[in-house]
Amino acid sequence: MLLNFVGKNPSNETCWRAIILQGKNTASYKFALARVLIDTQGSDTCIKISDLAEPFSRHVTSHLLLNSKQSTAKNDGKFIRACKDFNKNIITKEQLIEITKKEGFKYVLDAFHNISRGEVPSRFFYANKQSVTLTDSFYELLNGAQFKNLSNEVEARWRLWETAISLNISTNKLVVSNDLQDNNLFVEIDKRRRVDVTSTRDALNGYQKGKCFYCNRDITVLQGLDNSCDVDHFFPWSSDLPNVDGIWNLVLSCKNCNRWDKSNSVPNLKLVEKLYNRNNFYIESHHPLRETIIRQTGSSETDRKNFLNKYYNDALEKIPVIYNPTTVEESLL
């Protein structure tokens, strides 16, 4: 059974994550606006466009220093050109803010809540040409257990997106890998060069909706806390099976599941189905995890099911111990 990410009666957190992870982004404006909204902490219900302009342009100019391409368009628009001019000291901050007020918000305010399947059920603001008004849904998001993770998730998605559009690598050759030592995602350009992209935890957490993959307890990507998450191999690393370090096989878990309960065992078939759905959430999103998962597990739903079933059987031959978590919700993500 293939599920879509939003599902029925989605929470505000799920709607927000769908906006960030499932949008068809042609420019980085939606990521920048998301960062600005999070940064406000809801201090003002009604925010003037003039007050949004400075932090909005600041986020874009800082990312342009990492990647000069912030749009899929062949030529930069007026706003992106202004941001680049600011970084080159051609225009002043005041000039950039004025251009941002005129050009930066032309489309993103109307398009923010749209994903590939239409508009998400929760609206986090209403906007006109002068201001943005935050809604009750935003304040519920602000006060939720997952709010502290959202800024990291936006940044991770932004870094993945901008890396993909800037590398000029054919999508069928683009593979995102995980560095086992520091748990960072990277793209290998050739045998001598690689581009570090973002934290593995930050990139995976949104797709799991901030829950331990096994027991569904709330987790956080912030380290040093009681519910800080681990990056875990779904099929154990000790199975020594091919491509066990692939993104398709990495999940986030609470410390209890990873270090004690699951340990060196093979998750049950219900969790294998959950992994299948989680990987399809990657595929529903765009660049570059989509291409990586397809390349690692198969181009069709049937191929991917067969891949996981074979892997499950092969893993059980090597490690004949099945893991059944003590607390698992019926919902598969």
Q: Could you read off the pLDDT of 128-168 as tens digits, one per residue?
A: 999 999 999 999 999 999 999 999 999 999 999 998 888 76
Looking at 86, 117, 142, which one is the last position of a domain? 142
Mean pLDDT of 19-43: 93
Is residue 43's pLDDT more than 50? Answer: yes
- Looking at the fold, whether 198 and 312 belong to one and the same domain comes out as yes
Whether 299 and 176 share a structural domain: yes
Instruction: Report how many domains make up the chain.
Output: 2
Higher pLDDT, 168 or 179: 179
Q: Which of 59-63, 162-166, 324-328: highest mean pLDDT? A: 59-63
Q: Which domain holds residue 129?
A: 12-142
Rounded Cα distance between 109 and 202, Å, is 25
Do the beta carbons of residue 238 and residue 319 sit within 8 Å? yes
**pLDDT computed for residue 328 by the predictor:** 52
Q: Are residue 111 and residue 159 in the same domain, yes or no?
A: no
**Is 195's pLDDT higher than 70?**
yes
* Same domain (yes/no): 84, 216: no
Assess whether 223 and 97 both reside in one domain: no
Give the pLDDT band of residue 326 (cuts 50, 70, 90): confident
pLDDT in tens, 252-287: 999 999 998 898 899 999 999 999 999 998 888 765
- Residues 51 and 199 both lie in one domain: no
Q: Do both 138 and 168 map to the same domain?
A: no
Give per-residue pLDDT as tens, 67-113. Answer: 999 999 999 999 999 999 999 999 999 999 999 999 999 999 999 99
Please provide the distance, in angstroms rounded to a whole number, between the alpha carbons at the two ends of the chain. Answer: 12
Picking from 81, 114, 142, the residue at the C-terminal end of a domain is 142
311 with 192, same domain: the answer is yes
> Do 129 and 157 share a domain, yes or no?
no
Classify residue 135: in a domain, yes or no.
yes
State yes or no: pLDDT of 191 exceeds 80. Answer: no
Q: Is the pLDDT of residue 126 over 90?
A: yes
- Are residue 78 and residue 114 in the same domain, yes or no? yes
Q: Quickly state the pLDDT bin for 24 (edges 50, 70, 90).
A: confident
CA-to-CA dists, residue 188 to 168, 179, 266, angstroms: 13, 11, 30
User: Considering the domain boundaries, does residue 331 fall inside one?
Assistant: no
Task: Read off the pLDDT band of 330 (50, 70, 90).
Answer: very low
How many CA atoms, within 13 angstroms, populate the side-chain half-sphere of residue 53? 23
Q: Is 27 helix (H, G, I), strand (E, B) or coil?
A: strand
Angstrom CA distances, 217 to 32, 46, 146, 257, 325, stand at 30, 34, 12, 10, 11
Any domain includes 45:
yes
193 falls in which pLDDT band (50, 70, 90)?
A: confident
Which conformational region is residue 251 in: left (phi greater than 0), alpha (psi within -120 to 50 degrees), or beta?
beta
Domain identity same for 120 and 212: no
Considering the domain architecture, whether residues 131 and 198 belong to the same structural domain is answered as no
**185 in a structural domain:** yes
The last residue of a domain, from among 123, 142, 161: 142
Whole-number pLDDT of residue 3: 54
pLDDT of residue 1: 39
Residue 234, in any domain of the structure: yes
- Amino acid 103: pLDDT: 97
Residue 5 lies in a domain: no
In this structure, is residue 120 part of a structural domain? yes
Q: Residue 329 falls within a domain, yes or no?
A: no
